[in-house]
Amino acid sequence: MTDIKSAFEHGKAFIPFVTAGDPDLETTAKLLVGMSESGADIIEIGIPFSDPIAEGVVIQEADLRSLSAGTTTDKIFDMVKEIRPQIKCALATMTYVNPIFVYGTDKFMARCKECGIAAVIVPDVPYEEKDELSISCDKYGISLISLIAPTSNDRIKMIAKEAQGFIYCVSSMGVTGVRSKITTDIGKMVGLVKSVSDIPCAVGFGVSTPEQAKKISESADGVIVGSAIVKLVAKYGKDCVKPVCDYVREMKNAMN
C-alpha cells in the first residue's frame, strides 16, 4: 500500500499536496493521517523553500508561513517518521533542488527511506540534470518523479523511457494555482508517454474541482491537487483537517 506502484491499483489515484508546517507541523501530521483515511492514494509533502519559482501565490505564501513558523527539513522528517505507521497510503516529498542539495542529497534520500517516503518530486531538475539526484535516489530506492509539460512535445518519449514511479503531467503553462479552464490536450500527452512506457500518469497544476478531476481521469491515471487544498489550510488554519478531508473524499469519489 505504501509504494508508488500499488497507489495506482485502487482506481484512479488522487494525489493531494500539502505544505509541511503550514500552519504548524502538528496540523500537518493530522492532515497526513486524515487524508490517507479519506481516499488519498499518494500524499505529496511539500518541503517549503524560500524562493519556489514554480509556485503560484497560494503555495508561495504557504511556504513563507511555514518557514516563518520555524519549520526545517529535519523537523519535517522527524514528524513524518513518528506519524508514518498511522498513514495507510504512499508518501512523496515535493521540494526544490537547493534544499535537497544543501541538506546533502545522499542524507536527504536516506532520511526519505527511513521515514517511509517513496518518491521525490523536484520541479527545477529537468531530464538533463537528473543525475544530480538519481544516484542517491537509486541507492535508497526512492523514485525520482519526472515531469512533462505542455511545451515538452518531442521530449516526452525521451523522458518517459527513463521515468520511475509515475509521470507528473503539468497540465498548463505557468505556475501552480487554481485555474478555471485547462486547455492542454492531456490525452495526447499521456498517449505519447504510453507509446513507450506503461508508467502511470498523474496530472497536476490548476486542478481544483471534482468536475475537472473526473474529466482528467478519463485520460490519465491520477490527479494531483495542491493550491486548492493549501487554500483550505490557509482559510481554516488549525481547524483545516475536516474541510480538507471532506474535499479529498469528494475528489476521490468524483474520479471513480
Interface contacts to other proteins, rule CB under 8 A: 49-51, 53-54, 56, 60, 67, 72-74, 97-103, 123-129, 131-132, 147-153, 155, 159, 170, 173-175
- Residues 158 and 182: their CA atoms lie apart, in Å, by 25
Choice between 174 and 237, CB closer to other proteins: 174
Question: Residue 14: helix, strand or coil by DSSP?
Answer: strand
The set of cell numbers assigned to 232 is 483550505
Choice between 72 and 164, CB closer to other proteins: 72
Q: How far is the CB of 99 from other proteins (least distance, A)?
A: 4
Give the Cα-Cα-Cα angle 256, 11, 149 (nearest 5 degrees): 95
Choice between 17 and 49, CB closer to other proteins: 49
DSSP 60-82: HHHHHHHHHTT--HHHHHHHHHH
Q: How far is the CB of 124 from other proteins (least distance, A)?
A: 5
Q: How far is the CB of 242 from other proteins (least distance, A)?
A: 31
Choice between 77 and 247, CB closer to other proteins: 77
Q: How far is the CB of 81 from other proteins (least distance, A)?
A: 17
E-strand spans in 84-221? Answer: 90-94, 119-121, 143-148, 167-170, 201-204
Sign (positive/negative) of CA torsion 218, 182, 45, 114? positive
Choice between 67 and 110, CB closer to other proteins: 67
CB contact set of 4 (below 8 Å; sequence gap of 6+):
42, 90, 92, 118, 119, 143, 165, 166
Q: How far is the CB of 145 from other proteins (least distance, A)?
A: 11
Q: How far is the CB of 53 from other proteins (least distance, A)?
A: 5
Choice between 1 and 53, CB closer to other proteins: 53
CB contact set of 105 (below 8 Å; sequence gap of 6+):
132, 133, 135, 136
